[in-house]
């Protein structure tokens, strides 16, 4: 048993992070929060992480292409190269389909 870290008044079991009265207060306070702004920020973060991930994959693909031309690739490098090329082809196909849909709208 421990004291509630929020109010330091009520005793709670060790597995809980706050007492029921603090939980109710937190729940009421959260009702007034505009989650729209939070969702927008999460979407921006998700988009940025996806962009960073794609940039890293394209960078690796470029390095593998350079290696392929200069000295050839090991079997593992060949597998990674094929995987990245396949993924890039799928992404380009999806982008083409989206562009086609936008032209029809």
* Beta partners for residue 3, in sequence order: 11
Mean pLDDT within 74-78: 89
- Shared domain check, 13 and 39: no
Name the domain count of the chain.
Answer: 2
- Shared domain check, 50 and 22: no
> Residue 19: how many CB atoms within 10 A of its CB?
20
Give the C-alpha separation, 84 to 73, whole Å: 14
Residue 26: domain span: 2-31
pLDDT class of 104 with cuts at 50, 70, 90: confident
User: Each residue of 48-57: pLDDT tens digit?
Assistant: 998 998 899 8
pLDDT class of 88 with cuts at 50, 70, 90: confident
């Amino acid at each position: 048993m421990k004291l509630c870290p929020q109010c330091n008044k009520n005793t709670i079991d060790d597995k809980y992070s706050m007492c029921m009265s603090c939980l109710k207060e937190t729940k009421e306070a959260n009702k007034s929060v505009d989650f729209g702004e939070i969702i927008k920020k999460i979407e921006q973060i998700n988009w940025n992480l996806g962009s960073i991930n794609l940039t890293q994959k394209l960078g690796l693909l470029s390095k593998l292409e350079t290696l392929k031309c200069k000295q050839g690739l090991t079997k593992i490098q060949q597998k990674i190269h094929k995987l990245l090329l396949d993924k890039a082809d799928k992404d380009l196909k999806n982008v083409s389909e989206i562009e086609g849909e936008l032209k029809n709208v």
